[in-house]
Copies of this chain bind each other. A is one copy, B any other.
Amino acid sequence: MAAPEDSSVDAIAPWRAMLIAHSRAVRAIEAHMTAEGVIALTWYDVLLELHGADGPLQMRELGNRVVLSRTRVSRLVQELEAHGLVKRTPNSGDGRSTLASITAAGTEELKKAAPVYLAGIEQHFTDHLTPSQREAVTTGLGRVADAHGR
């Protein structure tokens, strides 16, 4: 427990807060989504990126946008394709890469899940923050994220 009241506590406090808040909020939101019978969080994230992109996305690029490793994306997209929510097509410009795009069924599922996901985020996360805290979290943690480039 880091010797009480020394300066390092100040560096640890925001970190611990994030660790715990993240873990609990993610759990709560996932449970919420499962209970409402919509797709899981990981699926949602992938579909959201594919939907937001203006066209098919290379696997590598998709991996960069979502918080997942390249291998994981590969597996996830396979799974999503098996469920008909995503389509994979060879890249005519570069034979090495694969392009992924969302299908109509995928968009359907995404639309069904979106309000549940949004409500979950608000209820389990954002609602507990004051407007100035939202701002600070967004810009501060945004800076942390950017610092790790990618």
- Roughly how many angstroms separate A14 CA and B15 CA in the complex, as a whole number? 16
- Main SS class of interface, A: helix
Which one of A75-83, A86-94, A119-127 is at the interface? Answer: A119-127
Residues of chain A from 60 to 84 with CB closer than 8 A to chain B in the complex = 67
Q: Which of B67, B110, B125, B136 is the one whose CB lies under 8 Å from A133?
A: B136
Given A24-B145, A142-B21, A150-B24, A15 and B132 contact (CB-CB distance below 8 Å): no
Specify how many copies of this chain sit in the oligomer: 2
Most buried by B among A110, A122, A143, A148: A148
Q: Are B134 and A137 in contact (CB under 8 A)?
A: no
Give the size of the chain A interface in residues (CB under 8 angstroms).
53
Report A50 CB to chain B, min CB distance, Å.
Answer: 10
- Roughly how many angstroms separate A10 CA and B132 CA in the complex, as a whole number? 12
- Nearest residue, chain B, Cβ from A110: B1
Residues of chain A from 98 to 150 with CB closer than 8 A to chain B in the complex = 110-111, 114, 118, 121-122, 124-126, 128-130, 132-134, 136-145, 147-148, 150
Residues of B within 8 A of A17 (CB): 137-142, 145
Given contacts A27-B148, A28-B148, 19 further A-B contacts (CB under 8 A): A11-B121, A11-B125, A12-B118, A13-B138, A14-B129, A14-B134, A15-B126, A17-B138, A18-B125, A20-B145, A21-B145, A23-B67, A24-B145, A24-B148, A24-B150, A128-B143, A133-B140, A137-B137, A137-B140
